[in-house]
Structure formats: structure tokens, C-alpha cells
Structure 1
Amino acid sequence: MNADALLDRLIEALRCLPGVGPKSARRIAFHLLERDRAGGIHLAEVLAESMVRIKRCSRCRTLTEREVCALCTNPERDDGLLCIVEQPSDILAIEQATDYRGRYFVLGGRLSPLDGVGPEELGLDLLARRLHDEPIAELILAISPTVEGSATAHFIGERAAAQGIRVTRLAQGVPLGTELEYLDGGTLALAFSTRCTL
């Protein structure tokens, strides 16, 4: 038996984090063991508690400790606006960068039949009930402009439009501060085809 089996297990466990390869995992493990054992213990305690207590909101599917999250129970939010996002982290980005005051719905991914991700895995049955039962005037699709993202947006948008709900999608194209000569052809073509009036 390897005398350093626990150290090897720690390094391997750290590799489950996104962007952490073998070298980064070793660096993190040695840092915690050599310089910040109290921080490592605290991290382990919070991580264990989070894995048990944090779940999906029963209404919007974001991450929360409650049955229904604080955004869903906030009476100040506009019930007529519903923003569809892929991940809970997208909500944080929108909340920090915009003055959006509507509601959210988190898919948890994009439609991808080859990967076994269909409407059920994205909670689209719950979304359909919300679209039917709530006074939603506008559905905002804040979904990545990938092939899967576009298919997902189209799938959701068609169903919402069939119920008379206005469907919009985030603008796509030229990033602020970018020069046209450095854009890829697909981005430039999309920006040109979806141009707007000043």
C-alpha cells in the first residue's frame, strides 16, 4: 500500500474542479497542507455542508438552501418578465451587470440529444407550467449562441410564442471595444444580419 495514498486521493479529488489539472491540484493540496490547514479544514466543512443543504429552487431551479429562493419570493420583482438562463452563475452575472428586475428560470444546460440531455433534464415541463399559469408578458432567452443553445432557444421560444408570450433574445455580435478585423466570420455575419436602427 502506498504510504502517501491519502495525499494522492486529495490531489485526485481536487481535479474534479473545473480548470484544475494535475499540476494545479498538487499545488492546491500542498498549499493547504503546508500553509493553510485551518483554511483547508474550513473549506472541507463548508463544502460538505453545501453538498448536503444546497439544492434547486422548486420554482426557478437556481441553487438555494430554501425550497423557494430569495429571488422568487421577492415581491419587488416583475412577474411579467421571465429570463431563461443556462446556469445559476448566469443569474449572478445578469444581476451584477444590469438593472433587470424580472424573474428567472435556470435550465441547467442546453438540449443535446447526443449527450442524453432532453427537455426533461432541463425542467421544461416546469417551465411550461409557469408559462401557462403565470402572467408572463415577455420571455427573455439569455442562452449561449452555440448550436445547442440556438436549438434550445428555438425550442423554448416556439412554445412560448404559441401561448401569445413575447419572446426576445439577448443581442449577439460585436463585443464592445473590439475591432472588426479581429472578429471571426461567424460573429461578424451574425452581427451584420441582426443589426439595429440607431
Structure 2
Amino acid sequence: MAVVVRAGAAPLWWLGAVAAGTGVLVPGLTGRRIGVLAGAALFLVAAAVVAYGGRGRYRAPVRQAVRASRHDVLQDRAVTVRNWRRAHRWWLLLAFLAALGSAFAAPATGGLLLAGCGVGLWLKAAWIGRLEQDGEALLWVRVDWLRAGAGRPAGKRVKAYRTTGIAAGDAAPGGSRRRVAAAA
């Protein structure tokens, strides 16, 4: 489940950083200083709102989580990330273009807002990772529920999460890639 949350963090962060860096080059209507300061404030607010918003929707199915059966379809981390990014590529492009366009009014503000959303998603995935470590089980969303819920791990179609052992799959708690120790 944390993989789906984390899938949007990197593109939002990088697109936001590029848009903010490009936006600083444009003087804008408000001037660079005001634009960057407003962008920094929006970065912090967006990161906090995205990281802490909707935690109850993520916690509720955790209480009802059941052990994954052999008939549940659970997909690899790389497939989940690729599917999420492919499904949301147009929204990411539109957000990037909007952040670039906003630089003509307030330089770097839109880019920093976008980057703040990416950081917030990363923080939310880290929080989910702590939930997984505390419960000593990875949380999964069935693939058919994930597709029907438009890629949202806490959508209306998700009735309960599935759990596996902490060492199952190719994702570590929090959705990051599992690090494999080198054989000695």
C-alpha cells in the first residue's frame, strides 16, 4: 500500500524542483524574493497537509486487515509504480505546466508547491512504513480494488488491506525498494 502512496512522490518532487528552478529565472509580477518566500511557505504547508491529511482513511482498513490468501493477486513494487505513473502522467504534466506558468505571476511558487506535495507523499509513505513495522506485516491492496479505486490505496472500493510477512515481496516497509544484502 505504501508503494502506491510513494509512487507519486518522486515525480512531484522532481517536476516541482525543475519548475521552481526555471521559475526563478523569470522576474514575475511580484518579484523573485516575494515569489520564493511565498513558495517556501506553500512548500511547508503542502508537505504538512499532504503528510497528515486523510490518515484516518488509511488507519481504518488496517484494523480490518486480513492475511493474504493464495487467491489474492498482489503485484510487485516496480509494476505498481509503473502503473501508477503511467495512469497519472497527464495529470503530472498538467501540474508541471501550471507550475511553470505560475512563475510569470510569482516566481518559483508553483514549483515549490508541487515539490511540497511530493515531500508530503514521501512522509506519508514513511508513516505507513512505521505502521507496517509496528504491526510486523506489510500492508497490500488487492490489484482489482486498486484499479477500480483509480489507484487510491484508501479509496471507497478498498474494503480491507491484505497482510503478508515483513520479508515478503520486493518492497520494504514504507514502499521503498528492498535492499538485498550482498553474499559474502
What band does the TM-score fall into relative to the shorter chain?
A: under 0.3
Q: TM-score scaled by structure 2? A: 0.27
Specify which structure has the higher proportion of strand. Answer: 1
Specify which structure has the higher proportion of helix. Answer: 2
Q: TM-score scaled by structure 1? A: 0.26
The higher-RCO structure (CA 8 Å, 6+ apart) is 2
Larger Rg: 1
